[in-house]
Amino acid sequence: QVQLVESGGGLVQPGGSLTLSCTASGFTLDYYAIGWFRQAPGKEREGVSCIRTNPNSTVYADSVKGRFTITGDNAKTTVYLQMNNLKPEDTAVYYCATDPWSYCHLLEDEYDYWGEGIQVTVSS
């Protein structure tokens, strides 16, 4: 059974950093696209970043390029999203999702399995 669990969210000041984790069960990371998405209040959900570990590939939304880094640990079946220089507009519920056997992309409708989401709040 495929399951995804997010952790690491919380409250951080502008300019601060936070690392989100997405721990998978029921499958290995190889050959699966793992994406991070977010939904801010009153806005539609948007893609943030994606990783596929075999072969290694990553994708980032323009809004987070240079600030966010996605990595994967196959042994721990966990994907990390390191978020630096956070801004108030990064405040949202962050979700991880997987599109089995797919290349890396941020097409939300193509992702089959989703975590429950975790809150990230950037505020002073």
- Coil, strand, or helix at residue 33? strand
Q: What is the pLDDT of residue 31?
A: 86
The tens digit of pLDDT for each residue in 43-90 reads 999 999 999 988 889 999 999 999 999 999 988 899 999 999 999 999
Peptide bond into 41 cis (omega under 30): no
């936070």: which residue's tokens?
Answer: 18
Determine the Cα–Cα distance for residues 29 and 79; give it in Å rounded to an integer: 9
pLDDT band at 10 (very low <50, low <70, confident <90, very high): very high
The 3 state secondary structure assigned to 51-84 is EEECCEEEEECCCCCCCEEEEEECCCCEEEEEEC
pLDDT band at 19 (very low <50, low <70, confident <90, very high): very high
> In this structure, what token pair is assigned to residue 46?
């948007």
